[in-house]
Structure 1
């Protein structure tokens, strides 16, 4: 398991205030509390009972926050074995079996197809240009349905990737070093 170097705090829901360790891994940066608070305020009416996909799970901040607030299921994809094991340990510490942690290359996993998700969190490592490929695979693979929400997180000075014509950008903000946006898939 990856060595823990920091802690993240869940900001709302049944695990509000619970702290989870964050593995010490290159490029891993949990979504800041303030950003998560705003994002989950945007998503509040949609989270209860939602099926969520955390494409580049990393610390698990987004996926565990969604579960804390009532998501029915969160599938977390993580490429690094030690980080995936850390996510499994965090799920066990929270006593949840609603988190499905898959040790896989997210882009390869998205090449397949499956049951659509209500909410997708897309927060890849900032140093890699993975947004466009992930967006294209999400859009083409049957992972989304009309009304699905897609959250994107990128560097504050980053340029939002080109979104498919069926995605409507409904929110776009910057906080500190992070730019974050929310799109809805049109019907």
Structure 2
């Protein structure tokens, strides 16, 4: 759910979309109709959450480029423990706060920040993020920059899943070694990838072996 940077004068109204599943199924949320905004297509969103249906419960979720908020609110609807939305546009962030209030989503935090700068300084919550959504504006080279940033911060040692939505092919992604492709799909020019983090799974195995000794 990303968009190019726009001026305040470009904000021209609101659009609706529906949450597909979970406790808020069929509830509508609104977002500002900004030029360049690209909400994840419903078919892709449904596919992604089918992939994740057994992996969301109790997870902390980070959406690095929130936009409409559809992916994050969908995750909360389906059992995620908490949601952090990063959105640099002041009015879009305010709109996201309205939607969170309407849904009574007490575990949702909306931060009006520049994502790259925030990732440079922020610390992951205790236990890390179970799922990171990464859907930056196309054609700015952001997806590879963010992937490397979260790897350098050490977040992938605590992250279970990373979802990437991009115009790039898989071969064009500069993937950290911890990420392994789990599923992928395509809708028009949009490529969607779900990666699992082997670094965490390896640690889980070590801890499981230790617990059974």
TM-score if structure 1 supplies the norm length? 0.93
SS state at 2:56 partner: coil
Shift of 1:145: 2.6
More helix by share: 2
1:104 aligns with 2:113: yes
Alignment check: 8 A CA contact 1:147 1:186 kept = no
What is residue 162 of structure 1 aligned with on the other side?
Answer: 174
Match of 2:93 among 71, 84, 87: 84
What is residue 124 of structure 1 aligned with on the other side?
Answer: 136
The alignment yields a C-alpha RMSD, in angstroms, of 1.6
More strand by share: 1
SS state at 1:111 partner: helix
Counterparts of 1:123-162 in structure 2, within 5 Å, are 123-145=135-157, 148-155=160-167, 158-160=168-170, 161-162=173-174
Cα displacement string for residues 17-50 of structure 1 (whole angstroms, at most 9, x for unaligned residues): 1111121223211111111111011111111111
1:71 aligns with 2:97: no
Aligned length: 185
What is residue 22 of structure 1 aligned with on the other side?
Answer: 31
Shift of 1:170: 1.3
Identify unmatched segments of 5+ residues in structure 1: none
Alignment check: 8 A CA contact 2:131 2:159 kept = no
* Separation in 2, partners of 1:113, 1:21: 28
Alignment check: 8 A CA contact 2:156 2:178 kept = no
Shift of 1:147: 5.5
SS state at 1:164 partner: coil
Cα displacement string for residues 88-130 of structure 1 (whole angstroms, at most 9, x for unaligned residues): 0110111111110001000111112422211000001124221
Give the number of the structure whose alpha-carbon radius of gyration is greater: 2
* Separation in 2, partners of 1:97, 1:17: 19
Shift of 1:184: 1.0
Identify unmatched segments of 5+ residues in structure 2: 1-7, 200-213
* Separation in 2, partners of 1:173, 1:142: 28
Summarize the Cα distance change of 1:125–1:145 in structure 2 as closer, same or farther, 3 Å threshold.
same
